[in-house]
Every structure is written in structure tokens, then in C-alpha cells.
Amino acid sequence: EIVLTQSPTTISASPGEKVTITCRATSSVTYMYWYQQQSGASPKLWIYDTSKLASGVPNRFSGSGSGTSYSLTIDTMETEDAATYYCHQWHTPPTFGGGTKLELK
């Protein structure tokens, strides 16, 4: 099983600030996926195939990486971006990272 480790586990950012969340895998994966989960809601696919934005995702978000190291970046933090973000890989069995809680400072 591929274990995904996200860092940081919690981060506070002010509006306009740049935010980067990283996800490291214990083995190389082909693609990384990211989900956004707002409090009390289901996770939503946010970034797929490492760097493609899901429908409706603002272009201040971006994804990058390869092999065992991936990241999600927000160029300029907005209030609506406060949420928990999970990375995910689907080499069997599919696994998720532990989550990064992004708070508004």
C-alpha cells in the first residue's frame, strides 16, 4: 500500500498570501489527485491528473509534481479557500493523505 504524507497538517494564511501544500508518497505514482472538503460537506475533486483543474476550480489553484513528490499551490489565498485538502493516488489500493487544514488568518 502506498502511504501519502501531507505537510503541513494545518496552515493559516491571510488573504492574498501564497499557499503550498505538499504530498509525499512512499512509492512512485503516475498521477496525484487533490480534493477539497469544506466543513460539513462531501469532498470535491479539485485537481486531477496532477495538474488539471476540475470544473469550477479557480485558476489561482495549481498542481504539480512527479514520482513521489507533489504539491498544490494557491497563488493568492481567498476566504473561500479555507477548507481541508486531501491528496489521493489510485494505485491499488487507493489511498489518501491525512489532510491539510487551511485556515484563514
Binding footprint of another protein on the chain (CB under 8 A) = 31, 33, 35, 42-45, 48-49, 52, 54, 86, 88, 90, 93-99
Residue 17 or 96 having the CB closest to another protein: 96
CA 10/CA 62 separation, integer angstroms: 19
Q: What is the dihedral of CA 101, 54, 80, 95, to 10 degrees?
A: -10
Residue 60 or 101 having the CB closest to another protein: 101
Residue type, 104: L
Residue 33's DSSP bridge partners are 88
Cβ of residue 56: shortest distance to another protein, in angstroms?
A: 12
Residue 16 or 93 having the CB closest to another protein: 93
